[in-house]
């Protein structure tokens, strides 16, 4: 069983991220570099992490015409990160182009996943702003997951609440990466569809993306370990390994 936590390095610059990572001296947790940090520091920060053996999820959520996404993915593939993503809302052609971009540069090690609906998106936002009517968030997410699977992607970003349905429709090996995780009793911030680490394990989440609960903790390394333990205990109790 893999370590299920990906720490979201949501910092405004590399110095702040590096300072935070000193709490993890001697460990190289799986980390996520998102738009804020990547736009501030660029590929040099990815190189810095790679030299220190961190596993990296480069979360840039590409969403553009297929040709542009294909070319951008060729560049990201060259960075040899572990995980990259696109928005499923870009459609099948765009997702296939993304995958082909990675293949074109030999980035076979880099997994590609699709964002379904952001975990901050509620049923009201879906209906009143996106004009996706008569469809529940869950059905919309499962539909996007199927499109991602048909496009040859390795998995999706989704909320814990949808992970189980996605495993049912797309297979146990289709990755579910779930943000919106909050340990019991912690601040939910701007997330809408949240769950605890124990629920994440029970519902079939492969990786939990966790930002503020760890980055704003007084003892980041202890909080990280507590979250892993809570996930493991629930995973073993719920016997996910035998999920068919
Ligand atoms: O601080 P928090 O744990 O809410 O951080 C969650 C991280 O996951 C953020 O970096 C956010 O951009 C990302 N994310 C998300 N919902 C998605 C996709 C990514 O919250 N659907």
**223 Cβ contact list (under 8 Å, min separation 6):** 183, 213, 214, 217
Beta carbons of 238 and 231 less than 8 angstroms apart: no
The pLDDT tens digits of the residues spanning 200-241 come to: 999 999 999 999 999 999 999 999 999 999 999 999 998 665
Q: Which of 141, 186, 209 to mutate to test the pocket of ligand 1 (most atoms within 8 A of CB)?
A: 209
Q: Is residue 244 part of a domain?
A: no
Which pLDDT tens digit goes with each residue over 100-113?
A: 999 999 999 999 99
| Centroid of ligand 1 to alpha carbon of 171 (angstroms) | 24
Ligand 1 pocket, 189 CB below 6 A?
Answer: yes
- b/e for 134-169, b at 16 or more Cβ within 10 A? eeebbebbbebbbbbbebebbbbbbbbbbbbbbbee
Nearest ligand 1 atom, CA 182: 3
In the chain, the number of structural domains is: 1
Ligand 1 pocket, residue 166 CB under 6 Å: no
For residue 69, the enclosing domain spans: 5-238
Q: Is residue 124 part of a domain?
A: yes
Residue 111 domain flag? yes
205 to each of 3, 23, 52, 63, 217, how far by Cα in Å? 12, 26, 27, 24, 23
Distance 212 CA to ligand 1 centre (A): 9
Distance in Å, CA 131 to ligand 1 centroid:
23
Q: Which of the two residues, 184 and 195, has the higher pLDDT score?
A: 195
Q: Is the shortest distance between the CB of 34 and ligand 1 below 6 Å?
A: yes
In a domain, 100, yes or no: yes
Q: Check: CB of residue 132 under 8 Å from CB of residue 126.
A: yes
Looking up residue 194, the CATH number of its domain turns out to be 3.20.20.70
What rounded mean pLDDT belongs to the chain? 94
The sign of the dihedral angle between the CA atoms of 28, 148, 35, 139 is negative
Catalytic residue among 16, 50, 61, 74: 61
pLDDT higher for 43 or 191?
Answer: 43
Note the pLDDT tens digit of each residue in 140-193: 999 999 999 999 999 999 999 999 999 999 999 999 999 999 987 788 888 787
DSSP letter string, 113-164: EEE-S-TT--HHIIIIIS---S--HHHHHHHHHHHHHHTT--EEE--HHHHH
Examine the pLDDT at 135 and tell me if it is beyond 90.
Answer: yes
Q: pLDDT at position 241, please? A: 52
Ligand 1 within 6 A of 17 CB? no
Asked if the structure places residue 73 within a domain, the reply is yes
The yes-or-no answer on residue 161 being catalytic is: no
In a domain, 58, yes or no: yes
Average pLDDT over residues 85-92: 98
211 C-alpha to center of ligand 1: Å?
7
Taking the C-alpha atoms of residue 231 and residue 76, their distance in angstroms, rounded to an integer, is 31
Q: Is residue 66 part of a domain?
A: yes
Structural domain includes residue 243: no
Nearest CA to ligand 1 atom 21: 118
Q: Which of 39, 160, 187, 211 to mutate to test the pocket of ligand 1 (most atoms within 8 A of CB)?
A: 211
Ligand 1 in reach of 212 Cβ (< 6 A): yes
């Amino acid at each position: 069983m893999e370590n299920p936590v990906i720490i979201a390095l949501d910092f405004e610059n590399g110095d702040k991220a590096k300072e935070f990572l000193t709490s993890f001296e001697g460990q190289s947790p799986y980390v996520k570099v998102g738009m804020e940090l990547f736009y501030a520091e660029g590929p040099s920060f990815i190189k810095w992490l790679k030299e220190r053996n961190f596993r990296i999820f480069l979360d840039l959520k590409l969403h553009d015409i297929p040709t542009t996404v294909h070319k951008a993915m060729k560049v990201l593939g060259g960075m040899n990160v572990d995980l990259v993503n696109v928005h499923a809302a870009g459609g099948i052609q765009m997702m296939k182009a993304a995958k082909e971009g990675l293949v074109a540069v030999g980035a076979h090690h880099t997994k590609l996943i699709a964002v379904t609906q952001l975990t901050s998106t509620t049923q009201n936002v879906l209906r009143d702003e996106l004009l996706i009517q008569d469809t529940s968030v869950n059905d919309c997410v499962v539909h996007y997951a199927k499109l991602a699977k048909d496009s040859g992607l390795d998995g999706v970003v989704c909320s814990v609440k949808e992970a189980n349905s996605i495993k049912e429709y797309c297979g146990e090996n289709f990755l579910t990466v779930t943000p919106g995780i909050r340990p019991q009793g912690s601040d939910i911030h701007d997330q809408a569809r949240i769950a605890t680490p124990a629920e994440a394990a029970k519902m079939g989440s492969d990786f939990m993306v966790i930002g503020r609960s760890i980055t704003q903790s007084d003892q980041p390394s202890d909080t990280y370990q507590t979250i892993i333990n809570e996930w493991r205990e629930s995973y073993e109790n719920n016997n996910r390994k035998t999920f068919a």
